[in-house]
Amino acid sequence: MKVKPPRALFLRYPFGHPLGEAFHVRQQRRILIDALTGLESIREPGTILTPGYVWRRHAFD
């Protein structure tokens, strides 16, 4: 099934890790906040946010 979501956040992370690494609270929190913030910031249906975090290399401060 292929659908176009109204809003999305895309990260080039391994399958099975949409929120990142286990027990990495700052990473999980940042990704969830990015997604939620899109609810207010995105005005164009189909917009995909790409924050570009690099797997295991981005410093989530």
Partner 1 sequence: MSSRRWLSDVTNSVLVQLYKHIPGLAERWARGHRFVEGQGIPWAPLGKPLRESCIAMVTTAGVHLKSQPPFDIEDPDGDATFRAFPADADKNDLTITHKYYDHSAADQDINVVLPINRLRELQEEGFIGRIAPTLYSFMGHIDGPHLKTLMEETAPEIAERLLREGAEAVVLTPA
Q: Which two tokens stand for residue 21?
A: 């690494």
In degrees to the nearest 10, what's the CA dihedral of 31, 49, 54, 32? 0
Cα separation of 54 and 41, whole Å? Answer: 23
Contact status: 52 vs partner 1 (CB under 8 A):
no
Contact status: 21 vs partner 1 (CB under 8 A):
yes
Contact status: 40 vs partner 1 (CB under 8 A):
yes
Contact status: 14 vs partner 1 (CB under 8 A):
yes
Please identify, using beta-carbon distances, which residue of 4 and 59 lies nearer to partner 1. Answer: 4
C-alpha triplet 55, 31, 5: angle, nearest 5°: 105
Residues near partner 1 (CB under 8 A) are 1-6, 12, 14-23, 25, 28-29, 31-33, 35-37, 39-40, 45-46
